[in-house]
Amino acid sequence: MDEQRYLFLTGRASDMYISGGSNVYPKEVEEILLTHPEISEVAILGIPDRQWGEVGLAVCVAAQGKAPDPQALTDFLNGKIARYKLPARYLFIPAMPTSAYGKITKKLVREHLTEKGLL
């Protein structure tokens, strides 16, 4: 009796977005942005774009007393990642929404931005 079994993976794969036919994994970009002294938290979401399909939106929390310039952040990333991985937009919020366990999830960030009319 040959029984076929299937395994379905869900979860983090949805963090990836496709921009201009290339897969972008936000974690790589987030890790680099977190080394910038003016950024304390960041979550990158794929958002719709007419030309590229999706582009990155970097949702950032500035370090205390700092006001990062989006162009300076792009300049900081330039040369560290491929150009197609650069966030197209930056959005600064006072604090990241977190789960009951204190974790930042892309789903909560997206819901928070939608509730505030920012997406």
Domains of the chain: which residue ranges?
12-115
Give the residue ranges of DSSP H helices in the chain: 26-33, 70-77, 106-115
Q: What is the pLDDT along the chain (119 residues), one digit of tens a residue?
A: 556 655 444 445 558 999 999 999 999 999 999 999 999 999 999 999 999 999 999 999 999 999 999 999 999 999 999 999 999 999 999 999 988 888 888 999 999 999 998 88
DSSP letter (8 states) at residue 38: T
B/e letters for 108-118, b = 16+ CB within 10 Å, e = fewer, are: ebbebbeeeee
Burial class (CB in 10 A: 0-12, 13-18, 19+), 99: exposed
Structure tokens at 67: 């006001």
Class of domain 12-115: alpha beta
Give the pLDDT of residue 103: 87
pTM: 0.84
Q: What is the pLDDT of residue 24?
A: 94
